[in-house]
A = this chain, B = another copy of it.
């Protein structure tokens, strides 16, 4: 049985928005990859990155701004290994809003843990059941910084829509109950700095709101 409070591994997906891939331009054809990705490109947000709604995201000492990665997370409800796209959604217990925070960086494809896995870099919102959300493939997403809407996107822009993404990932890696697979961040991710409040609204899931705070000067 799925317990929405027990969290497994949290996966992020890179370059799964048409506009995010387009924004790379010719860089996708440079070494070492020399072509756009042929399969989902994944990375992991480990436990030290997880915070809840309302908890602080810490802007590391020496960093001016962080990128806000507003996205939808699929919460896996039962063991998903080699599932077919047509059945994939039945392996999803529900959804969460994920703020996949990064230190802004120029590198493309799979990024350094120094940019994506620092403490507090993954606020995760409240669990909402699959039934309550309905189809996950055209949910509007908005990012609000200090009350001002600074970015809008939608899960309609995914290269691999939710069911297909889950099916393709499960071909090479089993997803376990409590794992979270976030579907990818759109191009033009807004930035925020210490002292600001960042809210992410996803249609049907409410809002995930977190203050950004400055890290103390290292001893």
Please give the residue numbers on chain A whose beta carbons come within 8 Å of chain B beta carbons, in ascending order: 8-9, 11, 30-32, 39, 41-44, 46-48, 60, 81-82, 107-108, 110, 112-114, 117-119, 172-176, 179, 218-219
B112 touches A82 (CB 8 A): no
CA distance A149 to B53 in the complex (A): 52
Distance between A12 CB and nearest chain B CB, rounded to angstroms: 11
Residues of B close to A39: CB separation below 8 A = 114
Residues of B close to A172: CB separation below 8 A = 60, 113-114, 118
Distance between A181 CB and nearest chain B CB, rounded to angstroms: 11
A113 touches B173 (CB 8 A): yes
CA distance A167 to B81 in the complex (A): 37
CA distance A46 to B118 in the complex (A): 17
